[in-house]
Structure 1
Amino acid sequence: MNEMIRGALAAHRRNVRLLRRRPDLVAQGVLVPLVVLVLCAILFGSWGDRWPVGVIDRADDARSAAITDSLAQSRSNVDLYFETIEDDPRAAREMLEDGRLQLVITIPEDVATTNEVRISTYNVNTDATKNLRFRVDDALNIHDEVRGALPATVDLRTVAEEDVTRAAFIAGGVLLLALLLGSMLLAANVFAVEEEGRTAKELLMSPFGAAPAALGCVLTATLLAYLSAVPTYLTGLLLFGFTPDVGSLVLVLLFMLPLLVAAAGLGVLLAQLLRQHRAVQPPVILVAIATFFVGGGFVSVPGMPPTARTIAQWWPPSRVFEWSNPVLHDFAGSYTAGQWAWGGAFALLGVAGAYWAGRRELAAPRRGGQ
């Protein structure tokens, strides 16, 4: 056992020196989460998603002015729901048909007697705009509430006092992604570079052998994954309003430790099977990004479509997001004993997988040595 530990530590020290000379082996684990974070911000409105609309006031009276004012007041806790960019009927219609407006709201001349507001919408990919009616209804409810004509009001009671904004939720999910992806890619890259550098044969002939070297890769990847996730955390902190409680953040990072060991062990195993780090990177990155979106990193699992919920039920990595997001955003005080036990079990599987990959190197084909 002492020989195994000494060998793993020696391999770890060598891995650290190698990564200093090969920053390209670290780059993917740092850059991919940042790219995901920025793309989510741009595409899904993490800084607010005001819909561009046209408002046509044909009545031009006190009642229509009140409705227009209600549309302007309707908002989430992040941003306004609508941004009126056109009030000319013909121009608004042309922009709507070109897909430059989300909808056109027309207040007819007889609104005071009919109590009707007409809506025209750009109905390409309607499912993506499924909260269209909610936003309009919210504005009309504001109008009715001001007039005292709202027959029923909503008593909203949330699980926690403070809401978690979409930006903060996404940033938290991407931080978890950065930790897992960083650990798996680092371990895979460092282990695969033995074959690419034609040093695997010399490693097998060393006093320690390949198994301790594989465990050394797990140790290196687990520790350095925290460092590789720092840029993602700082981006979320400075740009996305991701300000978790320090105690909650430390608890999440501690819980992630055995999961990073498991991810690193899987990375070593994949590297041993695929032999080249360039062959390992594409599938690992694609599966990690897919897991982020369908496993609860982008939006909580209950809010996803049925197919995604089904995948999340049997896809183990999704548990990382399901278990950690409530703690990260103070909806849960801690992890359960069962969750800690599962984390430890995954870590043991990761170590076993890495050890088996190292032992399997004895039978792997060689391309020659120094």
Structure 2
Amino acid sequence: MKVLVVGGYGTFGGRTVELLEGEPHLILFVAGRSLAKADAYCKKRAPTAAQLVPALFDRDGDLAAQLAAFEPDIVVDASGPFQAYGEGRYRLIEACIARRINYLDLADGSDFVAGVSAFDEAARNAGVFVLSGVSSFPVLTAAVVRRLSSDLTRVDGIRGGIAPSPFAGVGGNVIRAIAGYAGQPVRLVRNGRPEQGRPFTEQLRYTIAPPGQLPLRNTLFSLVDVPDLRALAALWPEAKTIWMGAGPAPEVLHRALICLAWLVRAGLIGSLLPLAPLMHQATNRLRWGEHRGGMFVEVEGSDRAGAIVKRSWHLLAEGNDGPLIPSMAVEALVRKALAGDQPAPGARAAVRDLELRDYEALFAGRTIYTGFRNGAADEDKPLYAELLGAAWQGLPEAIRSM
């Protein structure tokens, strides 16, 4: 199987290649605007079980001719920033459908992902899948919400957040995306009605604590513009509030970004895009703290007895395993396709195409730990049982009875 990874030597594209390079049945075209950078990346990764081929690809060029030259089975767009594609933002999707090539992207912009469904009929007629937002937000969050709400009759609220390690490394396109939407209006659902939020001007604090693991430090999260704000609302239309945040570290840089976002919200400056190069340098040079990151998803709803239920899922990733998680949805879908289990044809946000068990299979063998917690403390439960959650049952009886 041939997979063309656009932006293949960039931050997310490179991690996608890293996750798939051990598969001997793959030919991975590591593509971008610089053939020299693609070639250097391939040489750095060698030797690999998959065949890595450096490739020159310009998504603003003659896409039909470029796709005809590579004849890939799947195109993965990991370039971005998707928020800044402007007119012709779906040119690559249209070109893939025209040549009957399957397509995946790691888009993180809510508008871009929401618009992909316009190509559903064309993709079905061509017999190809076109999946957008194939990343932690919204694929992993949707899978977690399904697990958390499996026995609920109604979902009233969903909130979540990702707290990357300060040493994860942030690409320039990610910074440009953040600079482009910080302080700008985004659509979301709040208190049962459509509203506008302003990214990085709304905050909450949360402690990510998988049972049995050392928790992350209590983290400040800010609202971000991610596909979940609308994709999850389509899956759970009864949800009154959906909120997704990011908790970048060190917190002092996060707070500086919050201040700048408020200047945009107040209309004192139009956009943070001119500051993107400075923000990129600061993010990748001013780094300290623990090399660990995490994620949480919390659901509130009603069970069959009508009782209010609050549950949460926690993920903790140590070291260099955490930065790989956003690319794992692509890894899972490519591996499933190799095994003959392709997604159904059509164009859509990829919120129904993976389940939490698909992620759990990829987490196994890595320093990635997950677990569930109930929202309310049980006064009849021993203190350590409450703190350790499901891990409590794994302790020897002699210790649990102390």
TM (norm. structure 2) is 0.24
Tell me which protein shows more strand as a share of its residues: 2
Tell me which protein shows more helix as a share of its residues: 1
TM (norm. structure 1) is 0.25
